[in-house]
Amino acid sequence: MKFSDQLSAGVTVVSNRFIDECMAGADGNFVKVYLYLLRHEGEDVTCASVADALECTEADVRRAAAYWVKEGILCPWESESAGPREETVRAKEPAEETPEPDTAAGQNRAGAAKKQPDMTKLVGDQEYQDLLYVAQRYLKKTFSHTDHMIFANLYQNIGIPAEVLEYLMEYCAQSGHSSMRYAEKIALDWNDRGFRTRAEAENYSANYSKGMFAVMKAFGLNDRRPATAEKQFIDRWLGEYGFSLDVVLEACDRTIARIHKPSFTYADGILKIWRGSGVKTLDDVRAQDEVRAAQENLKGKGTDGKAGTDKNAHGRARTRFDNFESHGYDYEDLVWELMDPAGDTGKKD
């Protein structure tokens, strides 16, 4: 038998109907068995293998399986290769879970998302059949009905080119992800970015991975992958804000230098300031630093050559985001203002 570590790789999707309607009234061990079977959906599992994995008896597994079959959640069948009483069990796929891509990811695919793939046409589409074979080889699994519908929708309705989908499967396999839901999210994102060739997707994913790793390393977090919220920050910096990686890393370095701990929110505040002042490159950052230093030096002396009195409670020059370009600014004051939604100075102009 062969095993691979899937602890941090795949994703198992649990039906909302199961959580809302079935879980509360079931024995805890029954739920445990169901989740294990759901994790191995489409695979040949036996009572013995499940019992061994969950450290329970085969009788416990049989009782749990019988309960879920009676509830209409599991569908049993006899495996051709199994011996006597070695039934295999698969999770029943709720009809309501036919994939429908997130419309928020792009209005241009809203109509296609509602249209069901024409499976009859796809049977005779050799390109698709070849692609389907390659996809299952990459992910090392036979696609379930739901997987197949997701994949067919991406190919036929969304219109993602075969070479991009093939690279997507390769990318997911290399990243340790075998969930088609995960693959779908990436595919729709690439489609919204207008990728029509493997080279475009490959170049983006390489730069994206490089950026993610570099930011995590700058924050001293390179022992783990970024969380979803952290990924959203990095996406925003490199995408929406349009900063190059070296500018983003400079913001990360300044965050650590100023508050002595990693903070994506604080770094985002710095980058918002730079974005609002038209900063594009590291040279722009350094130029503003020089102007700021000169202005603060002049302001500190005052118009009569004496120390100025326009200070806040912490002894720093008072500044506003809406006039910092002409009067100089203090990063820390501005960043905390931007991070405080209740404050009256935290709004972008």
Measured distance CA(105)–CA(191) in Å, rounded: 10
Q: Which helix (H) or strand (E) holds 262?
A: none
- What's the pLDDT tens digit per position in 14-55? 877 788 778 888 888 889 988 988 888 767 778 888 888 888
Measured distance CA(157)–CA(165) in Å, rounded: 13
Question: Last residue of some domain: 196, 212, 244?
Answer: 196
- What's the pLDDT tens digit per position in 241-274? 889 899 999 999 999 999 999 999 999 999 999 9
Residues 175 and 277 in one domain: no
Look at residue 170 and tell me if it is in a domain.
yes
Least confident of 82-86, 235-239, 252-256: 82-86
**Quick check: 196 pLDDT over 60?**
yes
Instruction: Identify the band that residue 61 occupies on the pLDDT scale cut at 50, 70 and 90.
Output: confident
Look at residue 310 and tell me if it is in a domain.
yes
**Closest by CA position to 269, among listed 212, 343, 207:** 343
More confident residue, 45 or 191: 191
Look at residue 83 and tell me if it is in a domain.
yes
Residues 156 and 231 in one domain: no
- Rounded to two decimals, the pTM is 0.46
Q: 309 vs 296, 306, 327, 330, CA distance in Å?
A: 12, 9, 15, 16
Residues 108 and 173 in one domain: yes
**Closest by CA position to 62, among listed 89, 101, 25, 93:** 89
Q: How many domains does the chain have?
A: 3
Instruction: Identify the band that residue 318 occupies on the pLDDT scale cut at 50, 70 and 90.
Output: very low
Look at residue 206 and tell me if it is in a domain.
no
Beta strands in the chain (DSSP E): 74-77, 88-91
Look at residue 155 and tell me if it is in a domain.
yes
**Quick check: 316 pLDDT over 70?**
no
Burial of 165 (C-beta count, 10 Å sphere; 0-12/13-18/19+): buried
Question: Last residue of some domain: 96, 111, 131?
Answer: 96
What's the rounded mean pLDDT across residues 196-225? 90
Measured distance CA(35)–CA(15) in Å, rounded: 11
Residues 187 and 249 in one domain: no
Residues 77 and 103 in one domain: no
Instruction: Identify the band that residue 301 occupies on the pLDDT scale cut at 50, 70 and 90.
Output: low
Residues 149 and 163 in one domain: yes
Domain containing residue 91: 16-96
Residues 59 and 160 in one domain: no
Instruction: Identify the band that residue 302 occupies on the pLDDT scale cut at 50, 70 and 90.
Output: low
pLDDT at 293: 85
pLDDT at 324: 40
What's the rounded mean pLDDT across residues 73-80? 54
Look at residue 192 and tell me if it is in a domain.
yes
Phi first, then psi: give them for residue 91, nearest 5 degrees: -75, 140
**Quick check: 336 pLDDT over 70?**
no
Residues 328 and 231 in one domain: yes
More confident residue, 189 or 321: 189
Residues 247 and 329 in one domain: yes
Question: Last residue of some domain: 63, 96, 129?
Answer: 96
pLDDT at 177: 85
**% of the chain with per-residue pLDDT over 70:** 71
Look at residue 282 and tell me if it is in a domain.
yes
